[in-house]
Structure 1
Amino acid sequence: MHFISYFYKMLMVCLLVCLIFPYSNTKAEIIPLDLVIDAKETLFGIENFKPGDWAERTVKVTNRGREDFAYRAYSEMISGSDKLYNALETEIRNGNELLFKGRLANANLSSPRPLKSYEEEQLQIVVRFPAELGNEFQGLQTKVLISFTAEAALPGGGTNQNEIVNEGNENTLPSDVLPKTGEENPIVMILTGILLAVAGVLLYKKPAREQHFL
């Protein structure tokens, strides 16, 4: 009899604990960051690019997801002449706002650009062949990749610095994400992959007759 009484007491304690601490659904909620770059796959395809010449292209950056994010951009040479790559100059603007001015080899948006959900902005990218360069650049070519990354916007205006990097060649790629659970900050650890949007080929061909550039 004592055993039965003890059994019922333990059963009541278990039921009480179950009522106080109900089962928690820890299923992860996937929150994608949807970064879209609207530009030709080959942004700059320039022939006979000579000292004093310049070219401008526009890239549209869109946040098509339901989460705010901040994005960055940077360039890297993937083939061709280091000499030409390090000689070319570039500017990146958003309207009248100058975001970067300097060597193409150093081109980047080091400060994250915030972009709210379902908003977009346009970047104007200018590449210049400095007029003071001479004919030692004749016949050189370089291929440059401009990469864009998006990262979750954290409370207080910061961003998550841990990035997942994916590679691809299409203008629109699915974003990589990490799960959000109820036990973590709902914004922390929401990441997206890299979008390889544009790859430009800058050509400087030797003319049919010898020319000397001052």
Structure 2
Amino acid sequence: MRKRFLISSLIILLCAFVPWSFVSAANANTANDEQQEIDIQLSPNNYLFQVPNMKPGDWAPRSLTILNNGRQDFTYAVELQNTIEDTKLFDALIIKVMDGNKELYSGNLPSFNLPASNLAAGEQEVLDMTVYFPEHLGNEFQGLAAEFVLTVTAEGEEDQQDVISVGSNVGNGYGNGAILPDTATSIFTLFLIGTILLSVGGVILCIKKVQSLKSQRI
């Protein structure tokens, strides 16, 4: 009797365990199937630049990590696009992109252009980006803002693609009537004044020399 009870208990345990094994295996296969052939991820994935109060001469460094979470190696390209109607500040800002010690781009936002790059499956790449607010910009940029997105497109075999974007906004926070510092140079005015003073001094020196010669003759 006891032996039958043990055998029955063992059969019940096996019947309960075997279905769970199939379910676990099925879930594992489903997880593997869900991994995409081409899968690109960004970090940060929401906003890269959020700088509301930049002033002439300021700069803001950020790092963008690009990850290949798919099965395939891919080639990716990065585009930068303005997202608001007023482009005055957008046109004036400067961005510099570095891959380690290698400079990939340095110039204004509208002309942004990066070479395509390859990224192996499971690997990642970090791009160091710095936005500069040129120090010569004057009061006409008071209270302005620039908003743009960086769109990264990954392409694999057979024209497979994955696209992801990260936003950015940069502004000059002097919207309360404050005046930006006057960064214009007055070197040409100083040069003109110096030239005039030098000329006047030369004339006075010549007059004194002539008067001295006349005195000696007398």
- Do both proteins adopt the same fold according to a TM-score greater than 0.5, normalized to the shorter chain? yes
How many equivalent residue pairs? 148
Aligned match for 1:147, one of 147, 151, 156: 151
Query: Do residues 66 (structure 1) and 71 (structure 2) align?
Result: yes
Aligned match for 1:119, one of 101, 116, 123: 123
Amino acid at match of 1:79: I
- For structure 2, list consecutive stretches of 5 or more residues without a partner in the other structure: 1-34, 184-218
- For structure 1, list consecutive stretches of 5 or more residues without a partner in the other structure: 1-29, 153-186
Distance in structure 2 (CA, Å) of the matches to 1:205 and 1:105 = 22
Identity of aligned residues (%): 32
**What is the Cα deviation at residue 208 of structure 1?**
5.2
User: What do you get for the CA RMSD once the two structures are aligned?
Assistant: 1.8
Secondary structure of the structure 1 residue equivalent to 2:89: helix
Q: For each residue in 1:128-167, what CA deviation from the matched residue of structure 2 results, as whole angstroms up to 9, or x when unmatched? A: 0111111110011121111100112xxxxxxxxxxxxxxx
Bigger Rg, structure 1 or 2: 2
Distance in structure 2 (CA, Å) of the matches to 1:130 and 1:65 = 40
- Structure 1 equivalent of residue 161 of structure 2: 192
Distance in structure 2 (CA, Å) of the matches to 1:54 and 1:33 = 35
Amino acid at match of 1:201: N
Secondary structure of the structure 2 residue equivalent to 1:84: helix
- Pair 1:118–1:51, CA change in 2 (3 A): same
Could you say which structure has the greater relative contact order, defined with CA pairs below 8 angstroms and 6 or more residues apart?
1
Q: For each residue in 1:17-52, what CA deviation from the matched residue of structure 2 results, as whole angstroms up to 9, or x when unmatched? A: xxxxxxxxxxxxx96211111114121111221110
**What is the Cα deviation at residue 193 of structure 1?**
2.8
Aligned match for 1:203, one of 152, 171, 179: 171
**What TM-score, normalized by structure 2, do the two folds share?**
0.64
- Pair 1:101–1:149, CA change in 2 (3 A): same
- Structure 1 equivalent of residue 113 of structure 2: 108
Q: For each residue in 1:41-76, what CA deviation from the matched residue of structure 2 results, as whole angstroms up to 9, or x when unmatched? A: 121111221110000111111111121111010111
**What TM-score, normalized by structure 1, do the two folds share?**
0.65
**What is the Cα deviation at residue 102 of structure 1?**
0.6
